[in-house]
Amino acid sequence: MPFYSEYVFMTTFMARFSVDLLPLSRYCHGMQQFPIPSVIRRFSQQFSQAGFSLYIVGGAVRDHLLGIENEDFDFTTDAKPEEVMQLFNAVIPTGIDHGTVTVRFEKHSFEVTTFRSEGSYQDGRHPSSVTFLTNLEEDLKRRDFTINAFAVDLNDSKIIDLNGGKKDLKQRTIKAIGDPRERFEEDGLRILRACRFAGKLNFNITEDTLKAMHACRENLRNVSGERIRDELFRLVLSDHPEMGLNYMRECGILPIILPELAAGDQIDQKGMHHEDVLSHAISTCQASVAISNRLEVRLAALLHDIGKSEVMEEGETRNTFYNHDLVGEKLTISLLKRLKASNDQIRLVSLLVRHHMFSYQSNWSDSAVRRFLTRVGKEHVGMLFSLRIADQIAIHGKPDIRLLEELEQRIKSILDAQDALSIKDLAVNGNDLMQAGIPKGKQLGKILEYLLETVLDDPKQNTREQLLEIAKHYQSLSNFTN
């Protein structure tokens, strides 16, 4: 195992679980019963004793039919939110406007939504009215796709399929319930969700549904950055992001939600790359699946070349893209801010994009390797290697890890020797310098940087006496030049 956890070897990649390998027919035939965990049985008894019905709905039922683990249970009931609140001690009104509450039950959190049939969605975002119904059928009809509209009756464990979901599971297709245009008019996010489920399940989207996604694509403009982020991140973390991203491309939503990425469409690289910039981004994201489960790596794989469309200069035999890493860093920050990603996610993904062009050669001096570590941060090197491997797989079909392994060894030696790589690793700090007579202020910071430069070149200089000596010398020289 390499010293950093991120970078894993190719052989383990092949063993990954894949939904393609599941014999679907085995799961769909004759599977009328859902195995109900005992805690859910106890949970549902609370409802039945009070005269209410309770059903498991959504992804857990779909994934059970596919043989995929999914312990994220959602429930629907004919009890009104305030009635659910009376049944349990700990209930949080997480989405009370939409009839959703979260119940804490035996250390589990269960989301329970009252049956709904929603009025029109005037802004494509929020239903203008929500009527609570006592009708499961209506509730299932207002879900997005047939494969997401199963329910399990907790009284008899039977799987209820009123919208042809099992047939579509068997055909491995994603199909909107009812009139697809109406569904995407009601909520533009469903267009992206269709792509997300294509990526998760490696399913196709039916022609009618895909056509409607294209026709209604502008509705995604009304959807909040947060909702887009949640679906996009889940797509990027799926096993088949390429599938979903290609659907996003095909139905025309990329220019609407990720214009920076869409700008790479048809940008010919005329060189070692066989694909245009956007196709390469999608291929790299797909290649990253086998290498890393970290969201930041997957996102960086998708975004690493987004600077290219801005800086391209056409040449006879090849186009050049100078500084696309710097421009890409800037674009990554603004794109992820728009999606309301966390500060840590923005910092990490943009750092990976910024440094993805490093080009290690065996003739790098040890000081060059230390400077590389200082620039990138030792804790990020594993992720940067993962990104490089994904990038190489996308270009060449397989990675060339000889040089990466060599660099890894050299980094390991430097870390074992505990060489200073940042100002906080120096044998002196700001206080020491002030005690030695250097005044607080800008100059002090400059001296610390100079000391770091010195020990990056020669780690033996990292002793208190030596650094104080160098600092005083630097100070007297600058007094002299001022």
Contact positions toward ligand ATP, by CB under 6 A?
58-59, 70, 72, 74, 143-144, 148-149, 187, 189-190, 193, 200
Q: Which of Mg ion, ligand ATP, none is residue 190 near (CB under 5 to 8 Å by kind)?
A: ligand ATP
Q: Which of ligand ATP, Mg ion, none is residue 438 near (CB under 5 to 8 Å by kind)?
A: none
Least distance CB 297 / ligand ATP (angstroms): 20
What DSSP letter does each residue of 278-320 carry, written as one string? HHHHHHHHHHHHTT---HHHHHHHHHTTTTHHHH-B--SS--B
Task: Report the distance separating Cα 174 and Cα 203, nearest Å.
Answer: 7
State which H helix or E strand residue 225 sits in: helix 225-236
Its sign, for the CA torsion 339, 341, 343, 344, is negative
Task: Report the distance separating Cα 71 and Cα 69, nearest Å.
Answer: 7
Least distance CB 71 / Mg ion (angstroms): 10
Based on CB atoms, which residue is closest to ligand ATP, 3 or 233? 233
Q: Which of 2, 59, 255, 430 is close enough to bind Mg ion by CB under 5 A?
A: 59
Based on CB atoms, which residue is closest to ligand ATP, 235 or 447? 235
CB atoms near residue 432 (< 10 Å)? 15
Judged by CB under 5 A, does residue 69 bind Mg ion?
A: no
Q: Which of 69, 72, 218, 453 is close enough to bind Mg ion by CB under 5 A?
A: 72
Scanning 71-79, 147-155, 319-327, 459-467 for contacts with Mg ion by CB under 5 A, the matching segment is: 71-79
Mention every residue, 6+ apart, whose C-beta is less than 8 A from residue 270. Answer: 315, 317, 318, 319
Based on CB atoms, which residue is closest to ligand ATP, 56 or 395? 56
Task: Report the distance separating Cα 55 and Cα 375, nearest Å.
Answer: 53
Q: Could you tell me the CA-to-CA distances from 193 to 141, 201, 244, 288, 362 in Å, in that order? A: 17, 12, 9, 21, 46
Least distance CB 414 / ligand ATP (angstroms): 42
Task: Report the distance separating Cα 174 and Cα 195, nearest Å.
Answer: 9
Q: Which of Mg ion, ligand ATP, none is residue 69 near (CB under 5 to 8 Å by kind)?
A: none
Residue 382: phi and psi, rounded to 5, are -60, -45
Q: Which residue's CB comes closest to ligand ATP?
A: 59
Task: Report the distance separating Cα 416 and Cα 174, nearest Å.
Answer: 52
Based on CB atoms, which residue is closest to Mg ion, 59 or 377? 59
Least distance CB 326 / ligand ATP (angstroms): 36
Q: Which of Mg ion, ligand ATP, none is residue 189 near (CB under 5 to 8 Å by kind)?
A: ligand ATP
As beta bridge partners, residue 117 has 131
Based on CB atoms, which residue is closest to ligand ATP, 227 or 324? 227
Query: What's the full length of the chain, in residues?
Result: 482
Q: Could you tell me the CA-to-CA distances from 453 to 185, 380, 470 in Å, in that order? A: 59, 21, 12
Residues in the interface with Mg ion (CB under 5 A) total 2
Scanning 66-74, 75-83, 202-210, 213-221 for contacts with Mg ion by CB under 5 A, the matching segment is: 66-74
Based on CB atoms, which residue is closest to ligand ATP, 116 or 280? 116
Q: How many CA atoms lie within 13 A of 46 on its CB side?
A: 16
Based on CB atoms, which residue is closest to ligand ATP, 178 or 271? 178
Based on CB atoms, which residue is closest to ligand ATP, 289 or 451? 289
Q: Which residue's CB comes closest to Mg ion?
A: 59
- Summarize as ranges the residues that interact with Mg ion (CB under 5 A): 59, 72
